[in-house]
Amino acid sequence: MAKNNSDNPSAVIWLVDGNRFSDAEYAFFAQKLGSSETDRYRRFLRAERQRQFLVGRMLLRFAIGNLMTLPPATIAVKEQADGAPQLVLPDSCNAQPGFSLSHSGKWVACAVSGDSLLGLDIEIVNPERDLVGISRAIFQSNEIAWLERQPTESCIAAFYQLWSLREALFKLLSNANDSDRIPELLDAEHAIASHGKGWHSHVLSHAELSCVLCSTHALSLQTPLRPSEVSPAALLAAMRQGAAEFEAGV
């Protein structure tokens, strides 16, 4: 979790294991979707992708509710043809928080901030993947050359950090309507950049995942930065809670 320990901008990153829900619980989540979300959900052909979508949309409501002290049931989500979904908050809310969703295998993550636009990427670290082939498909020539110079024992971690940074930064710039430019990911010292014009990156620690959070502002974060795992029981309880129960603290 990332918390604000000062007056500086902050973010919170939530993570949930989607394999820990039953079919009945997934069906319950599907009933909580809005009409545009349901339309998109039904277009997914793979069951895994449907589950990722359901958990992601419930986790988004949970995270925004926690950030803004709102019952998750009062938060609606509207799908957009291009880009991230749009939050529809109660009329009493004047602010529009920043958020970003990501998923990889069983894991689904959501980052939220009341201070900054965000871009989040998580990737399950798999040493068996064709890292050379993927690198040639997505990285610039100088980035490929940099990876080839990495020691064998750190090459996999370097690949995933660079990949996650590229994905997270693309999401951030898309949220800022500036995705036409992907800046240099290596700094003047030929290391992975931690910031650039209009962006900052933060590497999260997790045993199974490569995680990178990008933001438009430098964030006040705990060190080491770790996502906060949400239990299935907590997510289900939040989505079952009505507004009156939430306000009563039930």
SS3 letters for the chain? CCCCCCCCCCCEEEEEEHHHCCHHHHHHHHHCCCHHHHHHHHHCCCHHHHHHHHHHHHHHHHHHHHHHCCCHHHCEEECCCCCCCEEECCCCCCCCCEEEEEEECCEEEEEEECCCCEEEEEEECCCCCCHHHHHHHHCCHHHHHHHHCCCHHHHHHHHHHHHHHHHHHHHHHHHCCCCCCCCCCECCCCCECCEECCEEEEEECCCCEEEEEEECCCCCCCCCCCCEECCHHHHHHHHHCCHHHHHHCC
Reported pTM: 0.91
pLDDT in tens, 3-33: 444 467 889 999 999 999 999 999 999 999 9
pLDDT in tens, 86-96: 999 998 888 88
% of the chain surpassing 90 pLDDT = 72
* Domain ranges (residues) in the chain: 12-248
pLDDT in tens, 151-208: 988 999 999 999 999 999 999 999 887 766 778 899 878 889 999 989 999 999 999 9
CATH architecture of 12-248: Alpha-Beta Complex (3.90)
Q: How confident is the model at residue 216 (pLDDT cuts 50, 70, 90)?
A: very high
